[in-house]
Amino acid sequence: MDAPPPSRPRRAALRAVLVTAVVTGAIAGCAPAVSRPPAAAQPTPVPTLEFLAAHVIPSVRPDSVADRARLFGSVSGLARDARTGRYLAVIDDRQPARVAWLDVSFAGGALAVTPLSVMAIVPGPGMDERRVTGADLEGVAALPDGTFVATEEGHRSTGAPGQPPAGEWPVALLSLSPQMVVTGMHEWPPSFDLGPDRGGIRDNQGAEALTRTPDGRLIAGLEQPRHADLPATRRNGRPFGGGRGGPGRLVEFVADGKAWRARRQWVFPIAPTPVREGFDAICDDGENGLTELLALDDWNLLALERACLVSPATRVVRNTALISHVSLQGAEDVSAVESLAGGRWRGATKTLILDVDSLIPHLPPSLANLDNFEAMAFGPELPDGSRTLLVVSDDNFRATQQTVFLLFRIRGQGSGSRDQGSGSRDQGSGIREQGAGGRDQGSGTRDQGPGDQGPGSREQGVTPPASGFLPPDP
């Protein structure tokens, strides 16, 4: 059923301030030989988010694998190239592994997102071609020299039609040149090997999140706990933890010449899967999990968690999304701890600042059940110097889903030196859409989005999406 028509743009931007929970744990740990987070004696100011605008791009269903490789969609990570001002999006489709370049702007209360090109990543000298072309790219971070680092989540392929050849892709960090040549592949510690027999990561539920701190470190995050940290059963052939959340891990990487080396690890408390009326089942691979991190400073992050729920009666799918502030102050290094099961660990402090459900009345009807939000990046700077946050969904090339960009002003900690608080100029609600969604109901997995709104949906001023994008000239 369609949601009520969206309200007219409000003169005052919606204030999304929902500080509702703080989560921590406790353990003693090892003192690393690198800079330490400050003690947690002084509470870290928690930022708030003010919703400014939305931009929606409908999914385009590919006619073939070759067509699919040229299309924009399935965005799982986003980072801004400071040299050009453009955004690099990683695509987690694996057919082949590829990225997209985007222009993003915000003016007159409207958010504009323009996909520019899609290009495959290619192996450089000495790189394993199979691991590059079939990589499951999930997170990406931009470096000051114009290069990038992306995560391979860690997955297995059965070799099914349209998928990479059968095999295993271990979790890794990939160094990318500005031309999207893979120049380095950086392995994780053996404790993050795939599979329950190794106590490592769950298949396709591993290194989902990645960010770079201002002091130059990388922090990656697991979507779900390692098998040794919280054992998972199997349901419909997929790992399943019962939706109870658990101890995830954040992993710090530091530069060592041209390599990235894993150092400290911190416990990240993954929230239990939210409950929503009428959506009583969890999609396959749909438990609430960490999908993105964004460093506000060296020790404070934003974290994005999302889940996929399904109605057993109608098979309509609904997503949830939670944005939290994460402080590493006082968190203990657990890199030497083989298993977190059954212990109490002093982990990162997590404070919920936004349940994206609160925005549904201010979004287009096609987002009444939200979408599969997986990426975050800093957005365009506002005229008063305030930083903004972009939150982006992964449409998985399904007609029931869309690529959704949400823009927020960041207020408080890490918001920029010229943030003047609530008295700043109104930006309006700024919702903008391109095109309209289709009818395919999908397969009911975590990748599926909300059900089709049908021909009666009320999007206005639509523009057909582009049919595809060619790689730029070398």
| pLDDT per residue as tens, the chain (474 positions) | 433 333 333 333 444 433 334 444 433 333 334 566 666 546 678 999 999 999 999 998 777 767 778 889 999 999 999 999 999 999 998 889 999 999 999 999 999 999 999 999 999 999 999 999 999 999 999 999 999 999 999 999 988 877 778 999 999 999 999 999 999 999 999 999 999 999 999 999 999 999 999 999 999 999 999 999 999 999 999 999 999 999 999 999 999 999 999 999 999 999 999 999 999 999 999 999 999 999 999 999 999 999 999 999 999 999 999 999 999 999 999 999 999 998 888 999 999 999 999 999 999 999 999 999 999 999 999 999 999 999 999 998 888 999 999 999 999 864 543 333 333 333 333 444 444 333 333 333 344 433 333 322 223 222 233 323 222 222
At which residue do the structure tokens 């890199």 appear? 335
- Asked: is 15-32+47-433 a CATH 2.115.10 domain? The reply is yes
Q: What is the DSSP letter of 367?
A: G
Query: What's residue 38's pLDDT?
Result: 61
- What pLDDT is stored for residue 42 in this prediction? 63
Q: How far apart are CA 306 and CA 319, in angstroms?
A: 7
| pLDDT given for residue 34 in this prediction | 54
Measured distance CA(297)–CA(68) in Å, rounded: 37
Closest-CA residue to 283 (of 306, 309, 305): 309
End-to-end Cα separation, the chain, in angstroms: 48
**What pLDDT is stored for residue 450 in this prediction?**
36
> What are the boundaries of each domain within the chain?
15-32+47-433
249 forms bridges with which residues in the sheet? 267
pLDDT for the residue 385: 95
Q: What is the per-residue pLDDT for 43? A: 67
3-state secondary structure of 152: strand
Neighbouring C-alpha atoms within 13 Å toward the C-beta of 258: 9
Report pLDDT for 60. 84
Q: Quick count: other Cβ atoms within 10 Å of Cβ 424? A: 17
Of how many residues is the chain composed? 474
